[in-house]
Amino acid sequence: MLRNGHFLVAVIGLVLGQAHAVEFQLPAQPGDALVGEYFADEQIPRAFIKTKAQQEDTLLDVARRFDAGQTEILLLNPDVDRWLPGQGTEVKILNRRLLPKAPRQGVVINLPEYRLYYYRRHDASIVTHPISVGRLDWNTPLGKTRIVAKTENPTWTPPASIKKEHAERGDMLPNVVPAGPDNPLGLFAMRLGIPGYLIHSTNKPYGVGMSVTHGCIRMYPEDIERLFPDIPVGTDVYLVNQPIKLGWHQGRLFIEVHPLLDNQPWPYLERLNSALDLLAEANEGVLPVVNGARLKAILNRANGVPEMIYQRPVTEQPPSSPAL
């Protein structure tokens, strides 16, 4: 559904039960950052859409169908059973997102959001997919790098540290894991300029959207299969850690809050101070007057939903002088 040529190019679609990419046009106003699907005559994309689970579904099956990660769908549906939602159970799917604060080019990966954004030059659109990132003891690094190589049907040479970890569990890894269905890298891998780190497919798709890797970035097999031919070698990659994002949409300021990676402790006062700093930064250095109770509720929910927190006052223009 394309609204005024501004945001949505293609939304989630299902073919043989597989999720399609979610693609958006860059916001029409350069300073705006909210993207999402519009329905009817909405001025703002609604927070979420709803679907219903089938009898055989887990919540993770629903997440994969709608190209969502595990953490994302669990936060949005805290009262739905992860393993047995049940026939006809209503499930919420996130429908709007704030773009991370980063250059709008190449690949941007926001770790606590468990999400990748790819800015395509040829049509000024954005493709976004869920990802997995490194566990607390195997942090995915931050900063700017680039795609330095791409490989189809990769083999995997486990580093000594990973072989040792597996051996301690009684799982002896070979020196080289051949390409194929048992390869943890899946069928596609893109090597980063940071030695030892990849964006790759996975043979364990239900871990997508969590901190479960040894630092690499995993994607659903169907997502990286579509993205792989589209990203050229040399593409810039920005790895950021933004649990709180803010962004404008047509004079309205939205805030989006995620838990810290691995659910690390995050005292409320720390969250509040971070949010207030970002609110002032987003409003040209002036802290806007916001509803304190609403801000507190959003910070405590930390469910990844962009919510409006402030609206610029409408300045009335003086009437035009009558012609003489």
Q: What is the model's pLDDT at position 182?
A: 77
Which residue among 129, 214, 216, 258 is the active-site one? 216
Residue with more model confidence, 91 or 137: 91
Lowest mean pLDDT among 138-142, 278-282, 317-321: 317-321
Beta bridge partners of 116: 109, 129
Does 200 participate in catalysis according to the annotation? yes
Q: What is the model's pLDDT at position 92?
A: 96
Q: What is the model's pLDDT at position 321?
A: 39
Q: What is the model's pLDDT at position 173?
A: 65
User: In this predicted model, what pLDDT tens digit does every residue of 80-115 receive, in sequence order?
Assistant: 999 999 999 999 999 999 999 999 999 999 999 999
Task: Give kind and range of the element (H or E) at residue 143.
Answer: strand 143-152
DSSP 8-state class, residue 102:
S
143: left (phi over 0), alpha (psi -120 to 50) or beta: left
**Rounded Cα gap, residues 87 and 84, in angstroms:** 9
Taking the CA atoms of 81, 19, 103 and 199 in sequence, report the sign of the dihedral they define. positive
User: In this predicted model, what pLDDT tens digit does every residue of 149-176 receive, in sequence order?
Assistant: 999 998 876 666 665 665 656 665 666 6
| Tokens 């169908």, located at residue | 65
Choose among 101, 150, 155, 106: nearest CA to 126.
106
> What confidence category does residue 37 fall into, taking pLDDT thresholds of 50, 70 and 90?
confident
Does 216 participate in catalysis according to the annotation? yes
pLDDT at 322 over 50: no
**DSSP helix/strand/coil, 265:** coil
Both tokens of 310, joined, read 């402030």
End-to-end CA distance of the chain: 48
Both tokens of 224, joined, read 């990286």
Whether the pTM exceeds 0.75: the reply is yes
In one-letter notation, the amino acid at residue 123 is: D
Question: How many beta carbons lie within 10 A of that of residue 127, not counting itself?
Answer: 21
Q: What percent of the chain has pLDDT over 70?
A: 82
Mean pLDDT of the chain: 85
